[in-house]
A and B are shown apart, each in its own frame.
Chain A
Amino acid sequence: MGKITFIEHDQTEHVAEFKAGSSVMQIAVDNLIPGIDGDCGGECACGTCHVIVSDDWFRKTGTPGGEEEQMLSMTPERASTSRLGCQVVITDEMDGMTVHLPEFQM
């Protein structure tokens, strides 16, 4: 168990509990965090689970894979620490992580 904080574009914060092994997208959807749709159900094929990881945590989440990079490149809000939430598998090490949501999803 651990906690992750989602910060919306207007700075509203939402704290959600997680169990390791789930994905950032799944946690957001299960906790009804506004601004993450997860339309493809985690297939890395819709780009509607975009999050921007804070710099300190980006080392823990790692960088996007090839398919993910391709989907991310289609969003105008792409940042250097962007990830697709469904491709970030949560580990206990990520307890306390914060991620920012873009203004819009694809």
Chain B
Amino acid sequence: MPTLSKTFDDIQSRVINATSRVVPMHRQIQGLKLLMGAKKKAFGPRRPVPEFVESAIPDVNTLALEDIDVSNPFLYRQDQWRAYFKRLRDEAPVHYQKNSPFGPFWSVTRFEDIMFVDKSHDLFSAEPQIILGDPPEGLSVEMFIAMDPPKHDVQRSSVQGVVAPKNLKEMEELIRSRTGDVLDSLPLGQPFNWVPTVSKELTGRMLATLLDFPYEERHKLVEWSDRMAGAASATGGEYADEEIMFDDAADMAWSFSRLWRDKEARRAAGEEPGFDLISLLQSNDDTKDLINRPMEFIGNLTLLIVGGNDTTRNSMSGGLVAMNEFPKELEKLKAKPELIPNMVSEIIRWQTPLAYMRRVAKQDVELGGQTIKKGDRVVMWYASGNRDERKFEDPDHFIIDRKDARNHMSFGYGVHRCMGNRLAELQLRILWEEILKRFDKIEVVGEPERVQSNFVRGYSELMVQLTPKS
């Protein structure tokens, strides 16, 4: 059956690409949803969609090594992840879990080994997915984060201009004024949830700018992205309803094709192209016809909105959590505001907004005394590498003037190294510069609510109370 089913996938992708000229993309995706329903009836689901119900996670020291499963999406929420990864780093730095809900996989948990895997594109492939589990069946969009060279290089180079430092310099003032607006509108002296009011709001506005997306509809970008990264089958997230994801994909396809056509028309009418993503794609020979390759088209746009959404958002929240756990650092910062850039790196290290990237071994590889077999899934746990005591001194401490803070792994390494790293650093730097201008105290009141996922390490609720500068 798998061969038949595989052929089916190939055909499906080709049919979509071929018909996109005549059938609107969102119609095709709606069609795909019906098709997938039919396929599941005929072949049965590829693997049952796992359902995650939270229960108390045992103390790691009561478990046999082989029973340790760091794919559990509640490990972070229950604050058990540090103990689990420390045990793996010390006792089984290259560890095999043979029956997780996502299937068997290897965990690589030491800084040095993660660096090796991330760098070795010849040994480890990023295809077809960089998350541990599978995306909803039939919705396997093509993104260059999950492509190997040389295809990866071509696609990346056609879009990276949108977040290139030159472009960012132009955007700095805009980002600063928006950040100021949001901070000026916050309630003073009473608790409010920082996540939707600040972190989501600022990242949503940024995405709308990068895509030149209708500003008043920007919440859509955030919602699509949240559901995409939060699929239960992919990351153990809270979204188990795959039907909704097809609807989302169709919605996205519709919105983005409209945006594409609109820009095309404006350009044809003689308007200067902007510096937004779609204009850049249309200016580049390799991608000017991308609209005719829908799975790739949606893939690249999705990558940008997912890549730039959760990650920066959770660093914006994470910095506050860190400051409140280590209050002396805020005093240090007030005395020496020039530490902000280094602090930004330290926030990103400490939070590690994306816990890992996944690879698949292209051949048998010896690592840490284990043999990883060709075809095995390998997870590089950045969250663990960033807390590896072999690399960082007092790794669990948040230290804003840490000397080697920039050496963190949160942006990955090698050809897939985060394309938005400078943008993320810029947004966080401005946020903290503007915070220091306005507030004397930023207290976290109440325990933060953490997101259910083995991939995204973030917050859904962070109650904060502000005291203005006197």
Interface of A toward B, CB cutoff 8 Å: 37-41, 43-47, 67, 70-71, 73-74, 76, 103-106
Contact = CB atoms under 8 A, between A and B. Distances in A.
B344 to A, nearest CB: 13
Interface string B395-425: 0000000001011000101110100011000
Interface string B174-200: 000000000000000000000000000
Contacts of B165: 103-105
B404 to A, nearest CB: 8
Contacts of B406: 37-39
Interface stretch (B80-88, B154-162, B459-467): B154-162
A103 B118 contact: no
B321 to A, nearest CB: 24
B160 A74 contact: yes
Interface of B: 115, 118-119, 121, 149, 153, 156-157, 160-161, 164-166, 404, 406-407, 411, 413-415, 417, 421-422
Q: Which 10 A-B pairs have the closest CB atoms?
A: A104-B165, A45-B413, A45-B119, A45-B414, A39-B406, A40-B413, A41-B407, A43-B115, A37-B406, A76-B164
B420 to A, nearest CB: 12
Nearest to A40: B413
Given A45-B118, A45-B417, A104-B166, A39 B407 contact: yes
Given A45-B417, A46-B417, A103-B165, A74 B407 contact: no
Contacts of B164: 76, 104
A104 B161 CA distance: 13
Given A71-B415, A73-B153, A74-B415, 12 more contacts: A39-B406, A39-B407, A40-B115, A43-B119, A43-B413, A45-B115, A46-B413, A46-B417, A73-B157, A74-B153, A103-B166, A104-B166
A106 B157 CA distance: 12
Contacts of B411: 39
Nearest to A71: B415
A70 to B, nearest CB: 6
B378 to A, nearest CB: 17
Contacts of B157: 73-74
A67 B156 CA distance: 17
A102 B460 CA distance: 40
Contacts of A71: 414-415
Nearest to A67: B119
A73 B118 CA distance: 18
Nearest to B404: A41
Contacts of A70: 121, 149, 153, 415
A105 B411 CA distance: 15
A74 B156 contact: yes
B115, B149, B415: residue with the most chain A Cβ atoms closer than 10 Å: B415
Contacts of B156: 74
21 contacts: A38-B406, A39-B406, A39-B407, A39-B411, A41-B407, A43-B119, A44-B119, A45-B119, A46-B413, A70-B153, A71-B414, A73-B153, A73-B157, A74-B156, A76-B160, A76-B164, A103-B165, A103-B166, A104-B164, A105-B165, A106-B421
A55 B367 CA distance: 41
Contact of A47 (B149, B404, B417): B417
A38 B406 CA distance: 8
A37 B407 CA distance: 9
Contacts of B115: 40, 43, 45
B149 A40 contact: no
A106 B417 contact: yes
B403 to A, nearest CB: 10
A38 to B, nearest CB: 8
B411 to A, nearest CB: 8
Contacts of A40: 115, 407, 413
Contacts of A46: 413, 417
A42 B149 CA distance: 22
Nearest to B118: A45
A40 B114 CA distance: 12
Contacts of B166: 76, 103-104
A39 B166 CA distance: 20
A44 B137 CA distance: 37
Contact of A104 (B121, B415, B422): B422
Nearest to A106: B417
A46 B25 CA distance: 37
B362 to A, nearest CB: 16
Contacts of B407: 39-41
Contacts of A67: 119
B416 to A, nearest CB: 10
Contacts of B422: 104
